[in-house]
Amino acid sequence: MRNEKGIGLIEVLISLAILGVITIAFFTALGASSRAAAFAERQEKSRNLAQSQLDYVLGLSYNSTNITGSNITYKPLTPLPSAYSGYSVNITTTLLTDNVSPTFADLQMITVVVRQQGVTSPITTLVGYKVAR
């Protein structure tokens, strides 16, 4: 047998191919984790905004005067802080009823929907209940 010294061309090419596959996998995983982090941040930001709007409505005095059909109007707390630019809030309130008794005039279901510009579906929908006290 001959004494082979050094690395041949085929071994170098195979090493570079393996290194290329590993590099591509690394950057693909890095991009996916970056998108996941951005998504989680957007979710958390919209959840905080929805919770602050719900807390705001729950802190208002009970509204039984702005009734339109079975809906009651509450306006969102505006203007939104600059950290939430690009987000919008929609608050709907519904009087709860059942088939047996008339409208429960002292119970409202409050739904807060947060959307972001450029995103068609809501990011966060939060539901709370308000009782006349």
pLDDT in tens, the chain (133 residues): 566 666 788 889 999 999 999 999 999 999 999 999 999 998 999 999 999 999 998 888 776 555 555 566 778 888 888 888 889 898 888 877 655 555 555 788 899 999 988 888 888 999 998 876 6
Domain range holding 114?
Answer: 9-131
Does residue 19 belong to any structural domain of this protein? yes
Q: Is 119 contained in some domain?
A: yes
* Residue 37 in domain: yes
Q: What pLDDT is attached to residue 7?
A: 73
- pLDDT tens-digit series, residues 7-34: 788 889 999 999 999 999 999 999 999 9
Based on the structure, what is the number of domains in the chain?
1
| pTM recorded for the entire structure | 0.71
Residue 84 lies in a domain: yes
Is 4 among the domain residues?
Answer: no
Rounded to whole angstroms, how far apart are CA atoms 58 and 60?
6
1 inside domain: no
Residue 3 maps to a domain: no
Residue (of 53, 33, 52) closest to 41 by Cα position: 33
In a domain, 46, yes or no: yes
